[in-house]
């Protein structure tokens, strides 16, 4: 198992370019199943989760052509299987997103229960309840979700009991080819939802209201396909800005979408950072100062994202003052705290809340990544610490960060990947 070795104490300086969004790319890849013609996706990040999604499409008989590192062509006309197998689905929870498109277009879908990061149960009940409301028959057997429908799904009004990004995406895609109009109440409003809606519309769907709590999808008889460019990854961008804050540095990220980073930029400003933005770039400058601690509570967009909680916890660990971090989205997402303590962080936990008393400096240590964003927090802590930090289990990082050590090295970090 590969590891990252980090020599701490370097102030990050320079400019990097944002990658395409993982959380936008995965549903867009699933949406190719809806199209009767070929689709082209650009700005696709080269990540393990994206590779898994492409492999999953291939297992269904979909033709996928990789033309460049960040561009692929997908043609689902020769699909010859309606079963998403356990061996692939277990690697990534987002695999559940093929359920809605397959069922809507072909009237049948067999999808293994998904796997992925161990940060909570993240049940698929909302996905299944919404599909059943549209006329699907769903049976759970042998670890598979077996869904069928007679004819087309039928549009209806669906009010989701909790905000769920995955369920919103799955039901959007299922509704795209349904008969009539589907209205989703209490829909997720994340920028990646808007990106999926824009993609679906570019390929022939009729989605309105994306980015609000009430979304309407007018079903169409078919979708033709076409070209689409994936939005920048707001979590990757936020991670590099947090790393600059922790190391008292100055970092500019090009190819960014600052409009999608509102709550993150607001908290980073509270640390004392100077932040400047343009149409497609964002820059953070700590002016050489130690960050101030910030308190935050995670919640669905437009509130502070759970995917940035671990990174800001790491910033708080070396900040001036006390920060209270409350996680409300996932019940088991403070796992990075134990590893940060190994580096000298002063953090106490009470339920889903962490009290972080900043220390002047952390000490390098051997730590283990437990999930994708926890991995990023340990890398940030390692760059801010004195001495050497070794981060184990970094396959988590490769699921969501494209060329992380290369980009950090470009910013001056002393970081290298070594065999386990």
Contact 86, 111 (CB under 8 A): no
Tokens of 28: 């867009």
Distances from the Cα of 137 to the Cα of 31, 96, 382, angstroms: 21, 16, 50
Distances from the Cα of 71 to the Cα of 192, 196, 199, 202, 329, angstroms: 19, 17, 15, 17, 33
Contact 27, 169 (CB under 8 A): yes
Q: What secondary structure letter does DSSP report for 70?
A: T
A 10 A CB-CB count for 360 gives 8
Catalytic residue IDs: 117
Q: Which residue do the tokens 């679906």 mark?
A: 200
Contact 192, 53 (CB under 8 A): no
CA count, 13 A, side-chain hemisphere, 286:
25
Tokens of 218: 């007018």
């Amino acid at each position: 198992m590969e590891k990252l070795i980090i020599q701490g104490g370097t102030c990050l300086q320079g400019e990097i370019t944002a990658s395409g969004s993982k959380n936008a790319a995965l549903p867009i890849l699933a949406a190719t199943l809806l199209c009767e013609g070929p689709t082209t996706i650009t700005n696709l990040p080269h990540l393990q989760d994206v590779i898994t999604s492409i492999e999953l499409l291939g297992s269904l008989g979909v033709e996928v052509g990789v033309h460049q590192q960040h561009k692929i062509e997908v043609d689902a006309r020769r699909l010859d299987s309606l079963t998403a197998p356990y061996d692939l689905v277990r690697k990534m929870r987002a695999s559940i997103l093929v359920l809605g498109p397959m069922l809507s277009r072909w009237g049948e879908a067999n999808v293994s229960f998904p796997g992925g990061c161990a940060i909570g149960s993240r049940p698929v009940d909302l996905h299944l309840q919404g599909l059943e409301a549209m006329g699907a028959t769903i049976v759970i057997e042998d670890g598979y979700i077996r869904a069928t429908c007679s004819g087309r799904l039928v549009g209806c009004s669906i009010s989701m009991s909790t905000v769920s990004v995955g369920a919103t995406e799955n039901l959007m895609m299922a509704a795209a080819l349904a008969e009539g109009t589907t209205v989703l109440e209490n829909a997720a409003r994340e920028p990646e939802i808007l990106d999926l809606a824009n993609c679906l519309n570019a390929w022939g769907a009729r989605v309105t209201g994306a980015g609000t709590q009430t979304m309407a999808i007018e079903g169409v008889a078919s979708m033709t396909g076409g070209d689409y460019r994936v939005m920048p990854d707001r979590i990757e961008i936020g991670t590099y800005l947090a790393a600059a804050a922790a190391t008292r540095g100055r970092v500019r990220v090009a190819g960014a979408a600052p409009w999608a980073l509102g709550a993150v930029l607001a908290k980073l400003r509270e640390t004392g950072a100077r932040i400047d933005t343009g149409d497609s770039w964002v820059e953070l400058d700590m002016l050489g100062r130690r960050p101030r601690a910030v308190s935050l509570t995670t919640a669905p967009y437009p509130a502070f994202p759970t995917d940035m909680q671990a990174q800001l916890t790491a910033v708080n660990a070396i900040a001036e003052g006390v920060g209270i971090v409350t996680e409300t989205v996932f019940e088991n997402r403070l796992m990075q705290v134990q590893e940060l303590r190994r580096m000298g962080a002063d953090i106490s936990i009470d339920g889903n809340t962490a009290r972080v008393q900043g220390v002047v400096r952390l000490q390098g240590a051997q730590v283990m990544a437990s999930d994708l964003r926890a991995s990023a927090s340990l890398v940030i802590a390692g760059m801010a610490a004195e001495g050497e930090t070794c981060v184990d289990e970094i396959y988590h990082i490769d699921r969501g960060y494209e060329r992380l050590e290369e980009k950090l090295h470009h910013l001056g970090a002393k970081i290298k990947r070594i065999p386990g």
